[in-house]
Every structure is written in structure tokens, then in C-alpha cells.
Chains A and B, each alone.
Chain A
Amino acid sequence: MLAAHGIEKRWGDHPVLRGLDLEVSEGEHTLVAGPSGSGKSTLIHVLGRLAPADAGALHFRGAPVAGDAAAWRLAHVGLVFQEILLIESLTVKQNLRLVQRGPSPLDPAALLEPLGLSDRLDAAARVLSRGERQRVALARAFANRPTLLLADEPTASLDPAARSATLDHLFQLCEQVGTTAIIVSHDPMVADRSELRQSFRMHEGRLV
């Protein structure tokens, strides 16, 4: 489904990705592990076309990715970020509706129901607990029924119980929507998940 070959990326003078190769098939949830600063987040940014690669090729479903990056993400990619950011002025439902611009958006109530947030649909984002905010952020990543989920440290700064629940929810939504996940994380709890089909470690800008 997604293939990256010879990807190189520098931030200023510092080379981060050095000829990285990665292939992910449909339903093949993938983990990229590695210590902080090893380039995991940069990989997510390049795969999600948030930042252009300096060299290399990126293919999606057999074709080179091209055209407007934002439109491509909106149509195909769900993003989960390390930092939980919701639009504070909006309700939970409005946060989901705001980003729903894809061709087949999911009903917010249906998205929130398996996450145990059905009763928080009309709650203001600013009054949610940290765990609730993380679940809403997860739901938002699936709002446009994405083919590919790119998750950058989705369990960072959560307590062990919340980390486990977040991963449960993440894979549950992948199952429900039919999404393939690429997760970058240095959390051992992620590496232990049975849903993962392949795992890599980032080493000197390449996957090993």
C-alpha cells in the first residue's frame, strides 16, 4: 500500500533520514521504534507529506504520490500526534465535524461509541480529561475513514492504564474502519502488541 525508497531528509545541516526504505501492505500494522532524536517523527512527517523528502520516492497504492499534499492527507491519511491538540472553543462533535471533508466521513457518534465517549459528544473540548482528549484526538484521526494511519508516539505522557487503553482504542478503530497503521514509538508497551505485523528499529537514519 505504501512504499518508500531511498528517502533522505535533513533538518538544516543535520541528516536525519539516510536512504530509508519501508514497505507496508494493506492491514500490515507497522511499528518503528527507536530512541528520541533518532528520526522517527521526521519519518512520519515525510510519509505524511508534512515535510518534503530531500531525495527518494514515495508510492501509495502502486503510484507515485503527487499533487496537493493536504488534499492527499485529507483523503487517505489519519494523523495522531504526540501532543494532544483539540480546538478548545469547539465541542467534541464539532472537533470531529471540522475536519470531516473527505468523501465518506464517519458519523461522530459512531466513532465515539466504541471509545466510551457517546455521552461527551456535545461537551466542550476544554472540559475533557487528558484521557478523554486523547480518545477524541484518536477519533478525529479516523473521522475521514483513512486508509493509512500515521501515529507519532500516541502513548507519550500517558499513565500505563491510559497507554494500554489508547492502544486498544487505536487498533479497535483500525479494525472498525479498515485502516493500516504505521506507529512510531519508543514505548515498550506498543512493541508488545499482537496486532503489529512488522517492527523496525531506526538506526542512523535507516530502518533495521
Chain B
Amino acid sequence: MSFLVWPLANLRHRPWISGATLGGVAVAAFLVATLLGFVRGYEQAVRRDVDKLGFDLLVTARGCPYEAATLMLRGGVGLRYMQPAVVARLEQEPAVTSVHPQLIHPVRDPASPGGMILMKGVEPSLAAVQGLELASGAWLDAGPGVVLGFEAAELEARRPGDAWNVPGTDTRLPVLGVLERTGTQLDGTVLMELRALQELFELGDRLTGVGIRIDPDRRHLLPDLRQRYDDEAELQVIALDKVVEALRLAMDQLRDVVNLLAGFLAVLAALVLLNAALLRALTDHRQLLLLRAIGLPFRFLAAAALTETLLLVLAGTTTGLGAASALGLWSSRLLIGYLPYEPKGNLILLDAASAWGMVAAAVGLGVLATLPALYRVRASVPDSSRVL
């Protein structure tokens, strides 16, 4: 008889206990994988978004660092403007290779009460700096018009060649192109050439920020440059690695809570397993004693009991991990509302190493949970076989 026949038959024999145990382990595995995967995925997504900005430094009007970080990543509202003269000064800096002024201008969305459309004025050179790719149409250097982010194009139901009414104005501009999905806030943004945006909304030469790229061979000049401009009363300078650090600090508390919760869930899963193993021990005890009396070695009975538990554990953990992976997008949406910045896409990062780690931990818990039941059988034989 195959070694697996007895454990499998036992699992089928008690469908409710088996189902409840498997479900308990699966839910615990799902939650632990989702929570731990989210912490890693969120950090990675923030870093990816920052990398996509393509700048080494961002100079903005002075505000709090979190506001500035949000400004960079999200576009922000209630903006402060900075003097354009700073652009010329920055261009003279020996460490600076390129300067990219930009203007973020939110406008009310007439199709959605209370909704806003984020317009962003940039120079055409930005496409190369940020590695932007077009899903269709052409970039801003093709002529007057707008380039829509992927989701903005879907929302406005516009394609290249269509006309787009600029909200709050009588102006209709052609849609030049639609960007590929980036997974960042750029997806919901409408891009225009900087000068055209300033003129359209009569903003003079106002800017909200200046992105700067640094000569890799002159990065040693970066601290001094940052310090000099940061010392100015109206300006603040944000290094992108500092942005990541600021967001990470904001996440530290969340990580502690997540780890605590994950630990609690692991204990819960262990209790579910222990309960199931003890229930089995209770119902199977006399049968196990009988088999010991007949002469089956304890190691055989122990292996069968462990196999039964491990089948449950492996099925539960695999189900939980699969669900965490399949529902990653949904879970991301649910969790992200509690955080200061909202990267897009699936933020549940499940790599092979962590999945195997979870399986190994679950197997360990399964073995530990089975030990009390096995001890009872071991300790009961042979004397208590008298009850037979």
C-alpha cells in the first residue's frame, strides 16, 4: 500500500476538520504573504517611481520635505511658485549637465464634480531624460498640442488626432500622443510644452520645480551644490535618494505593525494546526494504539501523522501564497490608502526565496504542532494499551 494512502484517506474521512485546518492555514499564509510582500513591494515601487523621474536633484519652492516629496511624485496641489531666474543660475553650475524646468497646474475637471486634472508643463527634452515611451502618436516636439498619460487618455476617451478641450478655457488642442503606462502618477497627467502652458493660463514664467541631472564624474560637487541652494530662503533642494529615505521613514512604523501582525498570524496558524493535530490525536488515539499493539513501528505511525499534517500545511500554504499572488492588485489597493504615497500596480512582492521561506516556516510549525499528539501515542504504549 502506498505510504500516502492512509494520510490521504484520513484527510478525506474528516472533511470538515481538514477543510477548516487547510482554510485556516491558507488565510494565515495569504495575510502574512500579503503584508510582508507589501512592505517590500511598496519600497520597490517608490524607488522605481523615483528612478523614473530621471533627476538627481529637484529644486522647488520651500515647503516641508514630505510636501516636496509628494510634489515630486504626485504633482501636489496648493503649489508654491519659484523664481525662474534660478534656471539660468543652475545652468551655470559645473556639476549640472541638464536643467528641466516644469510647471504643475491642476485644473478642475468639468466632467467630475470636485475632480481635478493635473496638467504639467515640461520641455520636450524631458522624454529622453525620463525615458518616456509613447503608446501611440507623437511627442510634444511634433507641434502644439498635448500628450496624455495612459489613464488620462482612457478617462478622456481621446486618441492621437482627436481634439481636447482644455478645462477652464475655450482652447481646443490636438492630442499629439498617448504615453505608455508607467505605473506612476504620470499616467493620469496631461503634458504640454512648458511655455504653452504658462501662456495658456497666464502664469508668466512661473515654475513649480526644476529637475537637475548631475554629471556622474562630478558627483562629489553635489553636496556643496545642494547646500548652497538649500540655504536660500525661498528654495529647497531634494535629492532623490533623500526622498526614498523620507518615505521609508514614514513606512518604518507601518513595517513594525506589519511584522507584529504577521507574527500574530503565524501564531494563529500554529494554533489552528495544533488544534487539528490534537483533534486527530483524540479521535485516532485508540486506532494508533491498536496499530502499535499489532506491531507497527512508532516511526511508521509518526511518519504517517506528520505526512497528514504536512499535506494540510503544504496545501494551505500554497493556496495562501497563490491567493496572495493572484489578489495582489486588489490587496495593494486596499492597503495603500494608509500610506503617504500611492504607487500604482501590484505592490505585493512575492519572490521565490520568501515563498520558500514561508513554506519552510509552515512545515516547521506543522511538525511542532504534531509533536504533542505523537508524544501521547508514544507515552501511551504499551501500558495503556490495556484499555484495548
Q: Are B388 and A73 in contact (CB under 8 A)?
A: no
Which listed residue, A49, A82, A89, touches B6 by the CB 8 Å rule?
A89
Which one of B5, B9, B296 has the greatest number of beta carbons of chain A within 10 Å?
Answer: B9
Residue A7 at the B interface, CB < 8 A?
Answer: no
Q: Are B388 and A82 in contact (CB under 8 A)?
A: yes
Residue A69 at the B interface, CB < 8 A?
Answer: yes
Chain B nearest CB, measured from A140 CB (Å): 8
Q: Closest chain A residue to B292 by CB distance?
A: A70
Q: Are A77 and B13 in contact (CB under 8 A)?
A: no
Give the chain B neighbours of A82 by CB distance below 8 A: 388
- A window 56-83: CB within 8 A of B: 69-75, 77, 79, 81-83
Q: Are B6 and A94 in contact (CB under 8 A)?
A: yes
Which one of B383, B385, B388 has the greatest number of beta carbons of chain A within 10 Å?
Answer: B388
Q: Closest chain B residue to A49 by CB distance?
A: B382
Give the chain A neighbours of B290 by CB distance below 8 A: 81, 85
Q: Closest chain A residue to B295 by CB distance?
A: A74
Residue A45 at the B interface, CB < 8 A?
Answer: yes
Give the chain B neighbours of A99 by CB distance below 8 A: 291, 294-296
Main secondary structure of the interface of B (DSSP, over half): helix
Interface residues of B (CB under 8 A from A): 1, 5-6, 9-10, 12-14, 286-287, 290-298, 382-383, 385-386, 388
Q: Closest chain A residue to B290 by CB distance?
A: A85
Q: Are B383 and A51 in contact (CB under 8 A)?
A: yes
Q: Are B287 and A87 in contact (CB under 8 A)?
A: yes
Which listed residue, A48, A85, A90, touches B286 by the CB 8 Å rule?
A85
Chain A nearest CB, measured from B60 CB (Å): 70
Complexed CA–CA distance, A98 and B297 (Å):
12
Give the chain B neighbours of A71 by CB distance below 8 A: 295, 297
Q: Are B386 and A89 in contact (CB under 8 A)?
A: no
Which one of B286, B287, B294 has the greatest number of beta carbons of chain A within 10 Å?
Answer: B294
Q: Could you give, for residues 76-106 of chain A, a 1 whenever the CB lies within 8 Å of some chain B CB and a 0 otherwise? A: 0101011101011110001001111100000
Complexed CA–CA distance, A71 and B13 (Å):
29
Which one of B10, B290, B292, B297 has the greatest number of beta carbons of chain A within 10 Å?
Answer: B290
Complexed CA–CA distance, A156 and B380 (Å):
24
Residue A110 at the B interface, CB < 8 A?
Answer: no
Task: Known contacts A41-B386, A45-B385, A83-B388; decide if A90 and B295 are in contact (CB<8 Å).
Answer: no
Q: Are B13 and A50 in contact (CB under 8 A)?
A: no
Give the chain A neighbours of B383 by CB distance below 8 A: 51
Task: Known contacts A81-B388, A83-B388; decide if A69 and B286 are in contact (CB<8 Å).
Answer: no
Task: Known contacts A83-B388, A98-B6; decide if A70 and B12 are in contact (CB<8 Å).
Answer: no
Instruction: Beyond the given A42-B386, A73-B294, A87-B287, please list 18 additional residue pairs across the A-B interface where CB-CB is below 8 A.
Output: A48-B293, A51-B382, A70-B297, A70-B298, A73-B295, A74-B294, A82-B388, A83-B286, A88-B287, A89-B13, A90-B5, A94-B1, A94-B9, A97-B1, A99-B291, A99-B296, A101-B296, A140-B294
Q: Are B388 and A70 in contact (CB under 8 A)?
A: no
Give the chain B neighbours of A72 by CB distance below 8 A: 295
Q: Are B293 and A50 in contact (CB under 8 A)?
A: yes
Q: Closest chain B residue to A76 by CB distance?
A: B295
Give the chain A neighbours of B14 by CB distance below 8 A: 89
Chain A nearest CB, measured from B1 CB (Å): 4
Q: Could you give, for residues 114-146 of chain A, a 1 whenever the CB lies within 8 Å of some chain B CB and a 0 otherwise? A: 000000000000100000000000001000000
Give the chain B neighbours of A83 by CB distance below 8 A: 286, 388
Give the chain A neighbours of B12 by CB distance below 8 A: 89
Give the chain B neighbours of A42 by CB distance below 8 A: 386
A-B contact pairs, 20 of them (CB 8 A): A45-B385, A50-B382, A51-B386, A52-B382, A71-B295, A71-B297, A74-B294, A74-B296, A75-B295, A79-B294, A81-B388, A85-B287, A85-B290, A87-B287, A87-B291, A88-B13, A89-B6, A89-B10, A94-B1, A99-B294
Complexed CA–CA distance, A48 and B294 (Å):
9
Q: Are B385 and A51 in contact (CB under 8 A)?
A: yes
Complexed CA–CA distance, A87 and B294 (Å):
13
